[in-house]
């Protein structure tokens, strides 16, 4: 992971921590757990999007027709069955 990605993670975690401390007295404990899980999922999604944008070429894969790319992407998307565990 690049240094920019690490800084982004640190910034997101710090922001989430500060907001969590501010709202901890107003939000019930069960809702706090739900919000923390949602925060982790959001950070993970943002990092995956960031890494995908950084590692792919601007034109995509060259030499592969658009229809083939769409069908290959459709086939790959159906393989994931369950949730990804996040620690």
In a domain, 87, yes or no: no
Neighbour-count burial of 81, counting CB atoms closer than 10 A to its CB (0-12 exposed, 13-18 middle, 19+ buried)? exposed
In a domain, 28, yes or no: yes
Q: Would the pLDDT of 50 be above 80? A: yes
Report the domain count for the chain.
1
In a domain, 20, yes or no: yes
Q: Are 27 and 35 in contact (CB under 8 A)?
A: yes
Rounded to two decimals, what is the model's pTM?
0.43
In a domain, 15, yes or no: yes
In a domain, 86, yes or no: no
In a domain, 12, yes or no: yes
* Host domain of residue 16: 3-77
Q: Would the pLDDT of 62 be above 50? A: no
In a domain, 71, yes or no: yes
Could you give the percent of the chain with pLDDT greater than 70? 70
In a domain, 82, yes or no: no
């Amino acid at each position: 992971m690049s240094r920019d990605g690490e800084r982004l993670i640190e910034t997101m975690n710090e922001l989430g921590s500060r907001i969590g401390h501010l709202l901890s007295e107003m939000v019930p404990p069960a809702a706090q757990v739900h919000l923390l899980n949602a925060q982790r999922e959001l950070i993970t999604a943002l990092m995956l999007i960031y890494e995908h944008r950084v590692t792919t070429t601007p034109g995509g894969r060259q030499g592969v027709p658009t229809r083939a790319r769409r069908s290959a992407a459709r086939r790959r998307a159906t393989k994931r069955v369950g949730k990804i565990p996040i620690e």
